C-alpha cells in the first residue's frame, strides 16, 4: 500500500513564539517521510500573519509552507478546522507551535495508516523543561498539564480512545464522518488553558464510525517546550481546574460513560500508584517524593472542582460549544 500524503497543520497566535515557530517548521521540513505541505494557521494576529507570509514567501526545496488566517472564531479548534479545510493531504497531522518533531515522526504516522480501518494516529510528546530538568515535585502522571505524554498511557503502538491534540494525525475521511473540532472547548490564545477538543472529536468519530481504529505510536516523538511559568504549582493548579471544566463539556457532548471512560482507570489505578511511589520516595529520603504525592492529590481535587463547576454551568446553559462542518474536498 502506498504511504499517504500528509499535510501538517501548525496553529500559531503570538510573535512571542517566533523562534519556536521557525523551529517547528524546520523539523517538519527535515522529515524522513516528507510532508506534502506545511500550513501555518494564524489566529487573528495580523502582524504575525504578515511576518510569517514574508518569511515563507519564497518556495523551498524542503517543502512548501502556506500561511493563512484562521477563518473562524478565535481559538485553537477553529484554527485547526481552517487548516483541515485548506489542506490537500490524505492525512492531516497537527504539531504544536512550541514543539519540534523527530525525523521519523511522519513516517511512524504513515505506517499506522497501512490498515484502512485506522482513522487517527497520535504519538509521544516529551517535555523540554525551561529550567533544564523536571521540577522535583512535578509528577509524571500529570505531564498532560504541560501538553505531554503522561505516565499511565500504554507503551508501543496501541489502540486508544483518543489521541492527544498537539501530536496527532487524522485521515481526511475522519472529518467527513464526524465534522471538525468543537469550538468553545479548547484553547483561546492566552486565556484559561482549556483542552479536550481532540478527546471530544475522537469520541464523536468512533460513534459515527464504530469500526474506526485510533492508535498511539510512541515512536512518533515530538519535543514540547515547557516555559518557566508552567513549571510552577500555580499553573499546575490552574491547568488542572481548566481540565475539569473541559471534561464537563465533553461529558455533556458525548455522555459521562464514554467521556470519562479513560479517566476512571486513570484515577482509580494510575494515580493511587503514583501517590504510593511518592510516599515511598519520601520514606527513602528521595527528593520530591512527598511533593509529588501531594501534587497528585491536589491535582485530582482541583480537576474535580472544575468538573463540578463546569457541569453546573453546562446544565444552566452557561457553557456552550459548537461542532462545525469542515470542507474536506482536498
Q: What is the pLDDT of residues 123-179, one digit of tens each?
A: 999 999 999 999 999 999 999 999 999 999 889 999 999 998 889 999 999 999 999
Is the pLDDT confidence value at 23 over 90? yes
**pLDDT band with cut points at 50, 70 and 90 for residue 92:** very high
Is the pLDDT confidence value at 192 over 60? no
Mean pLDDT over 255-266 rounds to: 70
Grid coordinates representing 317?
Answer: 446553559
Q: What are phi and psi of 263, to 5 degrees?
A: -65, -30
Is the pLDDT confidence value at 319 over 60? no
Mean pLDDT over 173-188 rounds to: 82
Is the pLDDT confidence value at 60 over 90? no
- Residues 97 and 254: their CA atoms lie apart, in Å, by 29
Residue 253 confidence (pLDDT): 66
Mean pLDDT over 172-201 rounds to: 78
- Residues 152 and 157: their CA atoms lie apart, in Å, by 14
Q: What is the DSSP letter of 204?
A: H
- Residues 147 and 60: their CA atoms lie apart, in Å, by 31
Per cent of the chain over pLDDT 70 is 89
Residue 59 confidence (pLDDT): 79
Is the pLDDT confidence value at 330 over 90? no
Residue 1 confidence (pLDDT): 62
- Residues 150 and 133: their CA atoms lie apart, in Å, by 16
Alpha helices per DSSP H over the chain: 18-29, 46-55, 76-86, 105-112, 172-178, 197-208, 233-254, 256-259, 261-265, 271-283, 289-315
**pLDDT band with cut points at 50, 70 and 90 for residue 67:** very high
Is the pLDDT confidence value at 211 over 90? yes
Residue 188 confidence (pLDDT): 52
Report the chain's mean pLDDT, rounded to a whole number. 91
Mean pLDDT over 234-244 rounds to: 94
Which of 319, 270, 320 has the alpha carbon at shortest distance from 299? 270
Is the pLDDT confidence value at 273 over 70? yes
Residues 307/315, Cβ–Cβ less than 8 Å: no
Residue 137 confidence (pLDDT): 98
Report the phi/psi class of residue 239: left, alpha or beta, with left for phi > 0 and alpha for psi in -120 to 50: alpha
Is the pLDDT confidence value at 259 over 70? no
- Residues 34 and 53: their CA atoms lie apart, in Å, by 22
Q: Which residues pair with 30 in a beta bridge?
A: none
Residue 195 confidence (pLDDT): 66
**pLDDT band with cut points at 50, 70 and 90 for residue 252:** confident
**pLDDT band with cut points at 50, 70 and 90 for residue 255:** low
In angstroms, the Cα distances linking 260 to 79, 247, 303, 319 are 26, 8, 13, 18
Residues 221/229, Cβ–Cβ less than 8 Å: no
Which of 263, 234, 270, 230 has the alpha carbon at shortest distance from 146? 230
**Number of Cβ within a 10 Å radius of residue 318:** 9
Please, which residues have CB within 8 angstroms of residue 31's CB and are 6 or more apart in sequence?
101, 103, 104, 105, 106, 107
Please, which residues have CB within 8 angstroms of residue 256's CB and are 6 or more apart in sequence?
none
Place of cell 500528509: 6
Is the pLDDT confidence value at 19 over 80? yes
Is the pLDDT confidence value at 325 over 80? no
- Residues 196 and 192: their CA atoms lie apart, in Å, by 13
- Strand pairing class (6-12; 91-95): parallel
Residue 182 confidence (pLDDT): 86
Place of cell 498537539: 166
**Number of Cβ within a 10 Å radius of residue 225:** 20
Q: Which of the two residues, 117 and 153, has the higher pLDDT score? A: 117
Amino acid at each position: 500500500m502506498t504511504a499517504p500524503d500528509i499535510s501538517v497543520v501548525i496553529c500559531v497566535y503570538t510573535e512571542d513564539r517566533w523562534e519556536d515557530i521557525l523551529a517547528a517548521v524546520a523539523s517538519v521540513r527535515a522529515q524522513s517521510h516528507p510532508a506534502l505541505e506545511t500550513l501555518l494557521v494564524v489566529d487573528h494576529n495580523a502582524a504575525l500573519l504578515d511576518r510569517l507570509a514574508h518569511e515563507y514567501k519564497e518556495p523551498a526545496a524542503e517543502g512548501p509552507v502556506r500561511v493563512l488566517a484562521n477563518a473562524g472564531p478565535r481559538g485553537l479548534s477553529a484554527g485547526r478546522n481552517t487548516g483541515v479545510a485548506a489542506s490537500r493531504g490524505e492525512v492531516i497531522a497537527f504539531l504544536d507551535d512550541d514543539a519540534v518533531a523527530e525525523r521519523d515522526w511522519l513516517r511512524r504516522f504513515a505506517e499506522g495508516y497501512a490498515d484502512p480501518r485506522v482513522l487517527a494516529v497520535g504519538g509521544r510528546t516529551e517535555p523540554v523543561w525551561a529550567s533544564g530538568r523536571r521540577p522535583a515535585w512535578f509528577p509524571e502522571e500529570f505531564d498532560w498539564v504541560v501538553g505531554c505524554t503522561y505516565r499511565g498511557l500504554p507503551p508501543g503502538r496501541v489502540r486508544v480512545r483518543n489521541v492527544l491534540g498537539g501530536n496527532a494525525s487524522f485521515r481526511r475521511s475522519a472529518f467527513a464522518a464526524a465534522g471538525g473540532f468543537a469550538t468553545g472547548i479548547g484553547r483561546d490564545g492566552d486565556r484559561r488553558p482549556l483542552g479536550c477538543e481532540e478527546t471530544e472529536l475522537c469520541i464523536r468519530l468512533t460513534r459515527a464510525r464504530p469500526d474506526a481504529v485510533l492508535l498511539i505510536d510512541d515512536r512518533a516523538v515530538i519535543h514540547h517546550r515547557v516555559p518557566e511559568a508552567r513549571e510552577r504549582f500555580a499553573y499546575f493548579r490552574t491547568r488542572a481546574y481548566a481540565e475539569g471544566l473541559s471534561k464537563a463539556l465533553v461529558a455533556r457532548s458525548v455522555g459521562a460513560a464514554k467521556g470519562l471512560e479513560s479517566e476512571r482507570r486513570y484515577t482509580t489505578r494510575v494515580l493511587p500508584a503514583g501517590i504510593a511511589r511518592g510516599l515511598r520516595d519520601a520514606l527513602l529520603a528521595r527528593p520530591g517524593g512527598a511533593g509529588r504525592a501531594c501534587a497528585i492529590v491536589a491535582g485530582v481535587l482541583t480537576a474535580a472542582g472544575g468538573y463540578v463547576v463546569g457541569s453546573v454551568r453546562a446544565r444552566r446553559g452557561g457553557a456552550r460549544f459548537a461542532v462545525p462542518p469542515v470542507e474536506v474536498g482536498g
